[in-house]
Structure 1
Amino acid sequence: MADILITTTEKIPGQEYEIIGEVFGLTTQSKNVVKNIGAGLKNIVGGEIKAYTELLTEARDEAVKRLRKNAAEMGADAVVMMRYDSDSISQDMETVAAYGTAVKFI
């Protein structure tokens, strides 16, 4: 599964491939109460809220992991045109989607 190439480009140099279909990796994450309180205090003084940065990084990584799993289950060799989408569900919850096109090398 880890050997599945993921690229944001449409073409993979030197590779011919056929399209298998759409693949997705979705996750929704939330912070724990202690980090949420710390983030609220940081909001007063300004600056980076590291708890939110960590939250988004973890959510992004999990979404890509699930995207790879979905591609592997379809028999893909790679995912092209990978993109992210994210949204806040509430003040302390984020959802992240990684999506792209699964392809099989010819």
Structure 2
Amino acid sequence: MMVVTSNEVPGFEIGAVYGEVFGLTVRAMTIGTTFSAGLRAMSGGEIPEMSRLLAESRNQAMARMVEQAKARGGNAIVAMRFDTGSFQQWTEVCAYGTAVWVTPVSDFAKANFKKLVD
């Protein structure tokens, strides 16, 4: 499925709007993760444990959003955004956008339609 942050998709026409879709995941950080991340933070630089956890969370939230869009009949998502929040030891990641049905109108879009929306 094509997922874009723009409100329109160049080369495509939006034929139907199915509404807002979102995917949400909430993760709890374990004491071990928090402790090792804290030690790494003292020395500066990237904290690989946290980077991995956040990347997994974003991917899971996006996958859930895509499933919602498919269930509503969409073949693309426009205006996609991420939102994050935290509460105590929990981290929430939400991916959201608008499910739409797009149809290719440009030559490039027509030639690449299948691989762009699958």
State the TM bucket, normalised to the shorter chain. Answer: 0.7 to 0.9
CA contact (8 A) 1:28 1:95 kept: yes
Aligned to 1:95: 92
Output aligned runs, 1:26-105, within 5 Å: 26-90=24-88, 92-105=89-102
Structure number with higher helix proportion: 2
- C-alpha RMSD of the superposition: 1.5
Pick the structure with greater CA Rg. Answer: 2
Identity of aligned residues (%): 38
Are 2:13 and 1:9 aligned?
no
For this pair of structures, how many residues does the alignment match?
Answer: 102
TM-score calculated relative to the size of structure 1: 0.86
Helix, strand or coil at the partner of 1:86: strand
What are structure 2's unaligned runs of at least 5 residues? 104-118
Report the AA paired with residue 78 of structure 2: V
TM-score calculated relative to the size of structure 2: 0.78
